A and B are shown apart, each in its own frame.
Chain A
Amino acid sequence: MSELLKVNHLSKIYQSSGGLFDKKAKVSALEDVSFTLAQGETLGIVGESGCGKSTLGRIISRLDTPTTGEIIYKGEDLAKKSLAKLRPLRKEIQFIFQDPYASLNPRRQIGAIIEEPMRINGLAKAERQARALSLLEKVGLDKDSYERYPHEFSGGQRQRVVIARALTLQPELIIADEPVSALDVSIQAQVLNLFKELQEELKLTYIFVAHDLGVVRHISDRIAVMYLGKIVEIGKVEDIYNNPQHPYTKALLSAIPRIDQNAKNTRQILTGDIPSPLNRPTGCSFHTRCPIAVPACSTTEPKLRQIRNVEVACDLVV
């Protein structure tokens, strides 16, 4: 498999505007994130609120600009391109958002919504319509949806419309940010299956951002686990889920409620809350909650290194 995307030392610092009496604060949302993504692969990004997983997706698609670092897509660095130069590449990288109620214009027909990206790119009406109709079919919607409005559809159907729209310009990379978390369980399974079918058929590459560890495991080939803006562990799905190395990954996986109580593992309950990125702990960000932390963890910052089959950012793992 050839390499489609390579992210090098990506960082993003947001400057908070500060209140009337507050000092301006810096929020480091991403810190030194690096990974590669092969063509046709799915990388799942997991982590809890505020870990930077959505920021990472937004920056790779250049909905936001990184502070430092490179986003090498097919040999070109997206990080430094101007918005005008990015435009042709936007066709190839598409984004799917969480809330299918907010991402469709309620006043436009489904057909017009799906055709909009093609219209912007100057395709003729006849071709637009033909492609929209065939995409509706591909995502499992009736052809007469073409003339209907978003309010006539349920959440799962709307997410299908969003997916059809993302496919209009034959993208290579799709970044999906929590695309199934607003859906009911029975509908979530349908949409996940659709993602997989489309990937096989169209050779798509996915970055799949989600907090649901079951969903991510189902869809991904590789997983990156994030904590406070950093990747703490990255590797193949089987390795991460069967043999996690980082203490945070272990705790995260053990926290999932199990349906099969016979398979109940020894749960490791983390104490305390995720620290605020405004007030990041020194050294390893996880040391304040880590069950195996030693004094050195609060001073030295661990770097990702290869341990067995995965890369882990923890100096205590050997």
Chain B
Amino acid sequence: MLADNLLEVKNLSVSFKTRRGTVRAVRDLSFTLKRGEVLGIVGESGSGKSVSMNAVMGLIQDQNAQITGEVIFDGVDLLKKSDEELRAIRGKDIAMVFQDPMTALTPVYTIGWHIREQIQLHSDISNDAAYKRAIELLEEVGIPDPDKRVDQYPHEFSGGMRQRAIIAMALSLNPKLLIADEPTTALDVTIQAQILELLERLRKSHNSSIIIITHDMGVISELSSEVLVMYAGRMVERSSKSSLFSNPRHPYTKGLMNSVPRVDRDRTSRLETIAGQPASILNLPSGCAFRNRCPLAHAACEEIPPFKSDVSDHGAACFLVEAGAVR
């Protein structure tokens, strides 16, 4: 019997030594991901959402980087694995889709080559079989005329088709976990809808878990079952999607939701805003990183608020939420 949890991240911290001192990009991140679950990670620039997932994938190679904590994937701690062992896992058990489909493919090779390379790196199958598999995969992700398209080069594909091809690569070995970092941000809205539908369909048919990183609350709401909100390197709120959207608790989450001009609400003359600028991790206030933008900040916020969850597993890192002052 497989364990329920596919991924357990415990106290993950990532810091970088720079000339201007140590930058703590991710602090004390802990969460679990169940099999077949979709976790959305939302936050603004510099909130640490991409860095934390790169750390999970073992993609941070910088010698000035310091990574602590545990990343238990399918029972093993990835942070203790060597580069070589990680290479065997990446692409096979964990696959990643990046934001920019223009730079994720090599322009001098065909789309089919990319998919074959991915398959043959991890399994011992013939060129012919890999080529056939590539065509099947392209068909599965909805590329028209896959037997012709497989021999085309990336520049002959549109942005949406390239992202489909990348998803085909990512899914070629039936990964247990797919990490998608802003997979639709570079795409037009009608193409975004196609890709979101594709991810949802593939999740059902392959039973993969997905982590989707985005700044778009709408995308989170469409795809994920669980949501994690990050601010300045820390997790500030985590809960099921329905609980988060119907009852956001952390003042930052509330502010974020109200600042989006939403088409499903009445038009207002002014948008609610969060005052000030997003905190720079180079220069964080002591205590709660959000306190100099928070409308409810008070003396207690000079300490770092602990992350506390209630019985329904809806948690937030805020003294006011803990005290029941914010509902």
List residues of A whose CB falls within 8 A of some B CB: 48-49, 154, 156-157, 184-190, 192-193, 196, 211-215, 217-218, 237, 241, 251-261, 263, 267, 269-274
Contacts and interface: CB of A to CB of B under 8 A. Distances in A.
B158 A213 contact: no
7 contacts: A184-B45, A185-B260, A213-B263, A241-B263, A254-B193, A259-B221, A269-B197
B261 A218 contact: yes
B263 A214 contact: yes
B192 A257 contact: yes
B125 to A, nearest CB: 32
A217 B277 CA distance: 25
Interface of B: 44-45, 144, 158-161, 188-194, 196-197, 215-219, 221-222, 241-242, 245, 255-265, 267-274, 277-278
B270 A256 contact: no
Contacts of B257: 259
Top 10 A-B residue pairs of the complex, sorted by shortest distance between their CB atoms: A257-B218, A189-B259, A218-B261, A48-B188, A255-B193, A184-B44, A189-B271, A186-B274, A214-B261, A189-B273
Contacts of A252: 189-190
Contacts of A187: 277-278
Contacts of A186: 44, 255-256, 259, 273-274, 278
Nearest to B278: A184
A255 B190 contact: yes
A160 to B, nearest CB: 11
Nearest to A190: B273
Contacts of B216: 257
Contacts of B218: 256-259
Contacts of A251: 190
A259 B190 contact: no
A273 B255 contact: no
Contact of A215 (B44, B217, B245, B261): B261
Contacts of B196: 257
A259 B193 contact: no
Contacts of B258: 189
A193 B271 contact: yes
A156 B216 CA distance: 18
B208 to A, nearest CB: 21
A217 B256 contact: no
A218 B188 CA distance: 19
Nearest to A260: B264
Q: Which of A156, A212, A259 has the most CB of B within 10 A?
A: A259
A259 B217 contact: yes
Nearest to B245: A259
Given A193-B271, A252-B189, A257-B193, 12 more contacts: A185-B256, A186-B255, A189-B259, A189-B273, A196-B270, A211-B189, A217-B263, A255-B193, A259-B262, A259-B264, A270-B193, A274-B190
B262 A214 contact: yes
Contact of A253 (B159, B192, B263, B267): B263
Nearest to B161: A273
Given A192-B271, A213-B189, A269-B193, A257 B222 contact: yes
A85 to B, nearest CB: 38
A256 B265 CA distance: 13
Nearest to B157: A273
A258 B222 contact: yes
A254 B192 CA distance: 12
Nearest to A251: B190
Given A189-B273, A215-B261, A49 B221 contact: no
Contact of B189 (A48, A218, A261): A48
B261 A261 contact: no
Given A189-B271, A259-B217, A156 B277 contact: yes
A185 B215 contact: yes
Contacts of B193: 254-255, 257, 267, 269-270
B270 to A, nearest CB: 5
A274 B192 CA distance: 13
Contacts of B159: 49
B158 to A, nearest CB: 4
B175 to A, nearest CB: 24
Contacts of A185: 44, 215, 217, 256, 259-260
A254 B222 CA distance: 13
B197 A189 contact: no
A257 B262 CA distance: 10
Contacts of A212: 261
A255 B277 contact: no
A194 to B, nearest CB: 10
Contact of A270 (B44, B144, B190, B255): B190
Nearest to A263: B264
A270 B264 CA distance: 21
A215 B38 CA distance: 28
A258 B245 CA distance: 11
B215 A184 contact: yes
A258 B44 contact: no
A184 B268 CA distance: 20
Given A256-B189, A267-B193, A217 B264 contact: no
A247 B166 CA distance: 30
A270 B161 CA distance: 14
A16 B241 CA distance: 49
Contacts of A255: 189-190, 192-193
A251 B190 CA distance: 7
A92 to B, nearest CB: 26
A274 B221 CA distance: 26
A184 B276 CA distance: 12
A48 B270 CA distance: 26
A284 to B, nearest CB: 17
B262 A273 contact: no
A251 B188 CA distance: 12
